[in-house]
Amino acid sequence: LRETREALRQREEFIEESERKLFEKVQEQQEKETELEQREEELRQRQASAVPAAPADKPATPPVKPAFDEFNE
């Protein structure tokens, strides 16, 4: 009977330790995911602030003249 109780106690300890490790891994994964999402958002904000917006009354790029073509002139 003592051996059975000891085996059961060891099994319960193993299960609890496994659950604890799994919980820690899940928590670490969630923290990494949150950090990556924050980095992505910061990158988007930096890219948005680095690209100046064109005024509403002017086009974003100047009109492009067609290249000179000596055969079609």
Query: Would 71 be classed as within a structural domain?
Result: no
- Tell me if residue 61 falls in helix, strand or coil: coil
pTM assigned to the model: 0.54
Distance CA 6, CA 9 (A): 5
**Range of the structural domain that residue 37 is part of:** 1-49
| The pLDDT value given to residue 43 | 96
Number of domains in the chain: 1
Instruction: Please indicate, yes or no, if residue 63 is contained in any of the structural domains.
Output: no
The stretches of 1-73 forming alpha helices (DSSP H) are: 2-50
Q: What is the pLDDT of residues 24-73, one digit of tens each?
A: 999 999 999 999 999 999 999 999 998 766 566 665 666 666 666 666 65
What is the C-alpha separation between 62 and 73, in angstroms, rounded?
Answer: 24
d(CA 19, CA 22): 5
Report if residue 5 sits inside a domain: yes
